[in-house]
């Protein structure tokens, strides 16, 4: 018999879900705060629920934006 994780019950369903076209903060510090908040929302949501999927999508967008900012901070090679 496979071990099943208990269903999560939380307020994740009532947490605001950022639409895909919502602009992200433009500073690394603000993005890191939003990333932490979104990770908590993802972790509290039931796996594969709309809230979970939206949080995973937003995490990807945040991580891409952080990477863009960090690339711009690096001095050019050579």
pLDDT beyond 60 at 56: yes
Answer whether 0.85 is exceeded by the pTM: no
Q: Are 15 and 58 in contact (CB under 8 A)?
A: no
* Number of CB atoms found within 10 A of residue 42's CB: 20
Can you give the pLDDT at residue 77? 77
Q: Are 13 and 49 in contact (CB under 8 A)?
A: yes
pLDDT digits (tens, 9 = 90+) for 2-11: 555 545 444 4
């Amino acid at each position: 018999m496979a071990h099943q994780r208990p269903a999560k019950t939380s307020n994740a369903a009532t947490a605001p879900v950022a639409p895909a076209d919502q602009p992200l903060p433009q500073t690394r510090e603000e993005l890191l705060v939003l990333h932490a908040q979104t990770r908590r929302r993802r972790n509290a949501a039931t796996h594969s629920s709309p809230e979970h999927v939206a949080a995973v999508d937003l995490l990807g967008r945040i991580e891409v934006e952080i990477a863009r900012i960090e690339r711009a901070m690096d001095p050019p090679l050579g």
